[in-house]
Structure 1
Amino acid sequence: MGSGTVDAVLADIVEYWWVYAAMPVMAAVIGYLTKLLAVRMLFEPLEYRGIRPFLGWQGMIPARAGKMAAIAYDTMTSGLIDLQELMSRIDPDELVDELAGPLDEAVEDLARELLSEYQPGLWDSLPEPARALLVRRVQAEAPKVVKQLAMEVTSDVHAVVDVRHMVVSNLVRDKELLNRLIRDVAEPELRFIVRSGIYFGAAIGVIQAVAWGLTKSPLVMPIFGFVTGWVTDYLALNMLFLPREEKRFLGIRLHGKFQRRRAEVGVRYGDLIAKEILTPRNLFEGMLSGPKSDKLVAIVQREVRRTIDEQAGIAKPLVILAVGGRRFQELKQDATARVLRTAPETARSMFAYTEQALDIRNTIAERMKVLTSGQFEQIIRPAFKEDEKTAVMVGAVLGGVIGEMQALVLIYLPMALGILAV
């Protein structure tokens, strides 16, 4: 580059300083807007908006809710928690103690309803002390039944609840919760992505100003807008995770933004899983209504029938004679159905104990500490990796469009007004 060229560029900078000064500023704006939009496009909108298949958009994570939910489950269970091991922490005796009051109340209501319905004459003829004695006999047996159920469930939880189906179906149904599983955990990293667009964009804007001074080509604006969107997206995404291990270069600490926050991520992630995904309520509902619910129904039915038969005792033939064999079987089936129907309300009292016993939050936080860097990265990396190329390309195209608008504002419009010569 000759001295004449340098002098000409310097003279142009002095004359049109506002054009050169605006380039880094507008490049920073381009970087910020493309990053902000890229982050928003990950999560919003929850449902497809527009005209399918091309004139519309759905957030990248909600659009792949099934796959992302399956990845989330695999991440949870591959190195963080073993649900069977967690369930072994539940003490059936303590569980029964937590259910004592609600269980007695539920059993009393059940006994009175069934007996008054299936043998109204006999029940109505009994004095209240006799009725109460009969109810107390059933109540005394109920804790044994509940303990037996608890022992069978905790010994092989996967036999009665399809945990993967439960987690995936809940996350697919509640896409906002799926978003939060990524967004809440990676909130600082998402803010970094957006802010980084300003810094990277401004730096590229300086190079853009030099290129404009040398070429005076209007194509510089859209080309550098495209490059700004592409490079800033690529750098920001990779700086979240790389380098995986801390390194020093010229005294500067180099470590992936997400990798640095392992302890904090463990607490946030564990809290979200414990409070909203693998909750006692969700597990219980999964047992009652999931694909394997027939297993639990069979266990409950077996225990209810056994209890009724035992309570009938030596009088069972007389009971069958009085009620009828078919009605006696119907009574046992009806009892099972009512037990299952009232179970969610009765079980509420044990949820606090179960959550404390499982201790999912602290378990995840502790096990997060011993993951390898690669395993830890997988907590949120799939959310970005799945559509990383799409996000980078969208950022580049948007950068090019905004760059063309930049050229319109800084070059074409001033030229039309006669205040800029090219």
Structure 2
Amino acid sequence: MQLLEQLLTNLPLLSIPIISAFVGWFTNFLAVKMMFYPIEFIGIKPFLGWQGLIPAKRREMAEIEVELVLGKLLSVQELAARIDPVELTKAIERRLKQVIRKVVNEVMQEAAPQLWASLPVQAKNLVYARVEHDIPNVVSKMVGDFKHNIEEIVDIKELVVTQLVNAPELINEIFLKSGAKEFPFIEKSGAYFGFLFGLPTMVAWIYFPQWWVLPTGGLIVGYLTNWIALKIIFEPKHPVKFLGITFQGMFLKRQKEVSRVYADIIESKLMTSKNIMEIALHGSGSGQLLELIEMHVNDAIERYVAMAQPYFGLGVGSERYFQMKQLAVKRIFEDSEKYLAYAYEYTNKALRIGDDLCERMQALSPEEFEGVLRPAYEADEWKLIVTGALLGMVAGFIQLYLVFM
């Protein structure tokens, strides 16, 4: 009764839980923003400034993605086995024929200009027709060897790390879309918990109106609202029933929904056919791919030339013949993006990365599923909690000065 009378006669006391609610909301709101922004470091490195925890940890996150996606859920060999040489040839054949004609012209004009110039149009068309007829055979053999050597040619770890390091906004997108319901909850819950924690602070001020009560209360509110919000998202890992109500971490409870969102982003933005082919052509395994192309192109040229001997041998010396093969390999490798781009639609459907990844993520245990998003920044969660506590303490000092002094 005495407490109620003091509240009614001293309305500024009511500002304590209200301001605590604002402090709880603001510190949680700021904690969420600090997880993602700024994307690049702002300030004076290494300590005087800030960078969003997720962008700052994107290399570690990329390595976690590789371990999760390829170590437990998908394998490069499994993906490569889904490519059908016949369907791939159909997808690129028209454009490949155009590229091959151009390559044949350039190679012959440089390696045997007189011989090529002396050939009538009908003879040149026969050369084109012979080469084009052999395309499915060459592509089939090349795809077979590509599958067999896929781990040496395509370094998926390099692909994932390169993409996420070079595009920090992509790592933010993965987290923001996967946690689309959790992050707004963190912000709103700060207000609810802040108000509740503000009530004992108000009582403490009534009986102990000391200058340190409000700053200490603000510090506790800022700390607990951030800590509790993070805990509620991931704890408990397994469903727990209490008083007829089932409790489980919000993120883990949405495992099926999050798996779909996450898998779609990985398929459409990260492990695309285009990205896989670019890492094969320009990554650390490009040398092995060049050797593979060289082997099959040389083999094809040997077969074509064997049919034209001895006339071809008289028109082209051994040195020019060697140069011709080198030039053909170089041109086909350099122009590969021109015809392989036509295979992206087919290969994206054939790989089925999104559907398979989603299905297998949904089958993960709660402990494994938590590892999808949390480990990359878990070690730095304390920074967010401490920042919230310090901001709460500052708000307590401001309240003390503006309302009670």
TM-score class normalised by the smaller sequence: over 0.9
Using the TM superposition, name which of 361-370 and 83-92 deviates more.
83-92
The answer to whether the Cα contact below 8 Å between 1:107 and 1:142 also exists between their aligned partners in 2 is no
Alignment CA distance shift 1:166-1:316 (3 Å): farther
1:39 aligns with 2:28: no
Matches within 5 A, 1:4-153: 7=2, 9-17=3-11, 19-153=12-146
Letter in structure 2 aligned against 1:180: E
Matches within 5 A, 1:124-203: 124-203=117-196
Aligned to 2:316: 323
Alignment CA distance shift 1:408-1:131 (3 Å): same
Distance 1:191 1:132 in 2: 66
Aligned to 1:381: 374
Aligned with residue 212 of structure 2, among 213, 219, 225: 219
Q: TM-score normalized by structure 1? A: 0.92
Letter in structure 1 aligned against 2:316: V
Distance 1:34 1:317 in 2: 84
Alignment CA distance shift 1:383-1:188 (3 Å): farther
After superposition, give the CA deviation of every residue in 1:211-268 in whole Å (9 maximum; x if it has no partner).
Answer: 1111112322211111111111111111111111222212333111011111111111
Distance 2:15 2:245 in 1: 31
Aligned to 2:239: 246
Distance 2:63 2:377 in 1: 15
Distance 1:384 1:210 in 2: 37
Q: How many residue pairs were aligned?
A: 405
Query: Shift in Å at residue 201 of structure 1?
Result: 0.7
Distance 1:167 1:316 in 2: 49
Distance 2:389 2:302 in 1: 73
The answer to whether the Cα contact below 8 Å between 1:79 and 1:371 also exists between their aligned partners in 2 is no
Aligned with residue 259 of structure 2, among 262, 266, 274: 266
1:278 aligns with 2:271: yes
Query: Shift in Å at residue 99 of structure 1?
Result: 1.4
After superposition, give the CA deviation of every residue in 1:74-132 in whole Å (9 maximum; x if it has no partner).
Answer: 12223222221122122111111211211111111211222223222222232222211
Distance 2:395 2:76 in 1: 50
Query: Shift in Å at residue 12 of structure 1?
Result: 2.7
Distance 2:65 2:23 in 1: 33
Structure 1: any 5+ residue segments left out of the alignment?
1-5, 413-422
Bigger relative contact order (CA 8 A; separation at least 6): 2
Q: TM-score normalized by structure 2? A: 0.96
Q: Percent identity?
A: 34
Distance 1:65 1:380 in 2: 11
Distance 1:134 1:314 in 2: 11
Distance 2:87 2:121 in 1: 32
Distance 2:37 2:274 in 1: 28
